[in-house]
């Protein structure tokens, strides 16, 4: 097959990352090279821009502008939280047919891959020649098949750098430090805090992931033990513990208690997901340590939105890979006339190849941390996880050195 002439539409969906525009620019620059591509349109605010026919013509963006956009965090086209239903997907296809769009690229997470799948199926059913490719991104790193998701390494670098600084801070002024990290169902980003450790006694000393049932009693006992050993303790907690449910799907008392105590009902979004960004969880977890363990200096932070779009903390490995998945998506669609989802395959220590996976295998699935990445006690990560993450964080990581000088001895 050859000569599928028509337009490209590219869009960005879901939460932003630090390198999501690398994928956009990789795809746009590559698509502009194909003679059969008549125009490269960018949809404003994801799928909503498609159904509203709100496009900009990226065929006319300068290369210099695009290269600088690539270095800018967060979706330059705008994003959306819309999760298209059947009718919405049909409308997308109608717009594509109307304007002879033959190539559709959607940069996003699970929900976006599902949209790519449905629109592709509708086109096939109607016999409309369309190539639809999902380009992965998510700071949560929770897509299946791919070794990791573009966007995750830079967010992980932010988290590791934040904990490295917090560890130095906590050594200087001792106490307990607790930080809440993004990740509703999967603990990948929280686990990245482990890469802040350089010396054996560096924090984080404890890491709680949504993959394991959280227990307030266990949490207090862990902190008590480690605080006695180190005179300080640093704790990384996934925001997912807030939404933790017991084996029968019932809300666990901790989350309910904390919410009630903070006097608020959790905000629920269109997909039924609880909004977890509040600072109250950190406040309450800190207050509990103070009250129950009698430790005076207990501090807490909620990293919040900083971790997904901070300007200037980017893994160079992540930037390169995000660019390449965008470029490869165009090779698959415009060069080989294939549809699917681009995945990263790790083929060395450290090297990768890109492949095209069936989008059905990606859509609406969540990849949790595997058991071999979580320690037996369920309160930290393993060496295997460190080995997995280390190469992704990129080069030029911050210097963290301790003074190395003899203590002055008296009384001889």
Is 162 a binding residue for its own copies by CB under 8 A? The answer is yes
Q: Which is nearer to its own copies, 164 or 369 (CB)?
A: 164
CA distance 71 to 171: 34
Considering 111, 114, 140, 222, which one is annotated as catalytic?
140
Q: Is 78 annotated as a binding residue?
A: no
Report whether 321 belongs to an annotated binding site.
no
- 263 class by beta-carbon count within 10 Å (0-12 exposed, 13-18 middle, 19+ buried): exposed
Active site (annotated) includes residue 140: yes
Closer to its own copies by CB, 65 or 366: give it: 65
In the Cβ-directed half-sphere of 270, how many Cα atoms lie within 13 Å? 7
Q: Would you count residue 410 as binding its own copies (CB under 8 A)?
A: yes
Instruction: Choose, by CB under 8 A, the member of 348, 351, 408, 412 that binds its own copies.
Output: 408
The reply to whether 307 sits in an annotated binding site is yes
308 is in an annotated binding site: yes
Q: Give me the 34-63 binding string for its own copies, x by CB under 8 A, dash otherwise.
A: -------xx--x-------xxxxxxxxxx-
Min dist. Cβ of residue 307 to its own copies (A)? 10
Q: CA–CA separation, 100 vs 10, rounded Å?
A: 14
Minimum CB distance to its own copies smaller for 164 or for 374: 164
- Within 8 A by CB and 6+ apart from 142, the residues are 109, 110, 149, 185, 186, 188, 366, 367, 368
412 touching its own copies, by CB under 8 A: no
Structure tokens of 322? 């995000």
Residue 276 is a binding residue for its own copies (CB under 8 A) = no
Q: How far is the CB of 402 from its own copies (least distance, A)?
A: 7
Q: Does 73 bind its own copies (CB under 8 A)?
A: yes
Of residues 351 and 403, the one with the C-beta less far from its own copies: 403
Q: Does 77 bind its own copies (CB under 8 A)?
A: yes
Cβ–Cβ under 8 Å, residues 235 and 223: yes
Half-sphere exposure of 41 (CA within 13 A, CB side): 23
* Rounded distance between C-alpha atoms, residue 310 and residue 137, angstroms: 16
Is 166 among the residues that bind its own copies (CB under 8 A)? yes
Smaller CB separation from its own copies, 221 or 311: 311
Number of Cβ within a 10 Å radius of residue 407 = 5
Angle between helices 316-330 and 20-31 (to 10 degrees): 40
Contact status: 399 vs its own copies (CB under 8 A): yes
Shortest CB 84 distance to its own copies, Å: 17
Give residues with Cβ within 8 angstroms of 113, minimum separation 6.
106, 134, 136, 143, 341, 359, 362, 363, 364
Stretch that binds its own copies, among 69-77, 103-111, 113-121, 349-357 (CB under 8 A): 69-77
Asked whether residue 306 is marked as a ligand-binding residue, the answer is yes
Residues 6+ apart with CB under 8 A from 362: 110, 113, 134, 136, 143, 144, 145, 341, 343
Q: Does 350 sit behind a cis peptide bond, omega within 30 degrees of 0 on the bond before it?
A: yes
Shortest distance, position 46 Cβ to its own copies, whole Å: 9
- Whether 175 and 38 have beta carbons less than 8 Å apart is answered as no
- The site map against its own copies for 253-272 (x = CB under 8 A) is --------xxxx--------
The whole-angstrom distance between residue 23's C-alpha and the CA centroid of its chain comes to 15
What CA–CA distance (Å, rounded) separates 154 from 138?
A: 10
Min dist. Cβ of residue 271 to its own copies (A): 14
The token pair at 80 is: 């959306």
176-195 positions binding its own copies, by CB under 8 A: 177
For position 169 contacting its own copies by CB under 8 A, the verdict is yes
- Please select the residue that binds its own copies; options are 309, 315, 379, 382, rule is CB under 8 A: 309
Q: Which of 252, 287, 293, 361 binds its own copies (CB under 8 A)?
A: 287
| 259 annotated as ligand-binding | no
Nearer to its own copies, 66 or 226 (CB): 66
Tell me the C-alpha to C-alpha distance, in Å, between residue 217 and each of 7, 41, 197, 289. 59, 55, 26, 11
Structure token pair of residue 137: 């991104």
If one asks whether residue 109 binds its own copies (CB under 8 A), the answer comes out as no
Please report, in range form, the residues annotated as the binding site. 15, 110, 138-140, 182-184, 239, 305-308
Indicate which residues carry an active-site annotation.
140
Binding site members for diphosphate: 15
């Amino acid at each position: 097959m050859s000569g599928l002439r028509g337009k490209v539409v590219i869009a960005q969906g879901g939460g932003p990352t630090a390198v999501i525009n690398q994928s956009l620019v990789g795809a746009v620059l590559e698509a502009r090279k194909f003679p059969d591509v008549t125009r490269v349109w960018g949809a404003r605010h994801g799928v909503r821009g498609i159904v509203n026919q709100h496009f900009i013509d990226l065929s006319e963006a300068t290369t210099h502008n695009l290269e600088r956009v690539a270095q800018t965090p967060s979706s330059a086209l705008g994003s959306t939280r819309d999760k298209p239903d059947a009718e919405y997907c049909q409308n997308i296809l109608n717009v594509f047919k109307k304007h002879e769009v033959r190539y559709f690229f959607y940069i996003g997470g699970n929900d976006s891959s599902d949209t790519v799948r449905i629109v592709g199926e509708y086109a096939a059913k109607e016999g409309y020649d369309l190539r639809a490719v999902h380009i992965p991104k998510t700071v949560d790193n929770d897509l299946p098949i791919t070794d990791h998701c573009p966007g995750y390494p830079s967010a992980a670098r932010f988290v590791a750098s934040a904990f490295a600084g917090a560890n130095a801070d906590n050594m200087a002024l001792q106490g307990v430090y607790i930080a809440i990290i993004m990740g509703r169902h999967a603990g990948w980003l929280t686990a990245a805090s482990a890469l802040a450790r350089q010396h054996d006694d560096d924090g984080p000393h404890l890491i709680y992931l949504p993959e394991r049932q959280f227990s307030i009693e266990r949490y207090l006992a862990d902190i008590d033990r480690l605080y006695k050993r180190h005179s300080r303790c640093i704790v990384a907690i996934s925001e997912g513990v807030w939404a933790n449910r017991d084996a029968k799907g019932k809300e666990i008392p901790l989350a309910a208690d904390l919410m009630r105590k903070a006097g608020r009902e959790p905000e629920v979004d269109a997909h039924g997901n609880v909004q977890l960004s509040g600072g109250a969880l950190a406040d309450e977890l800190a207050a509990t340590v103070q009250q129950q363990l009698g430790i005076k200096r207990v501090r807490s932070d909620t990293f919040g939105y900083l971790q997904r779009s901070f300007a200037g903390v980017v893994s160079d490995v992540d930037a390169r890979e995000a660019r390449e998945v965008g470029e490869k998506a165009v090779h698959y669609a415009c060069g080989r006339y294939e549809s699917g989802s681009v995945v990263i395959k790790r083929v060395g220590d450290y090297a990768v190849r890109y492949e095209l996976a069936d989008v059905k295998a990606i859509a609406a699935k969540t990849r949790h941390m595997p058991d071999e990445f979580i320690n037996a006690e369920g309160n930290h990560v393993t060496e295997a996880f460190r080995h997995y993450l280390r190469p992704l964080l990129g080069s030029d990581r911050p210097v963290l050195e301790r003074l190395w000088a003899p203590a002055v001895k008296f009384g001889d």
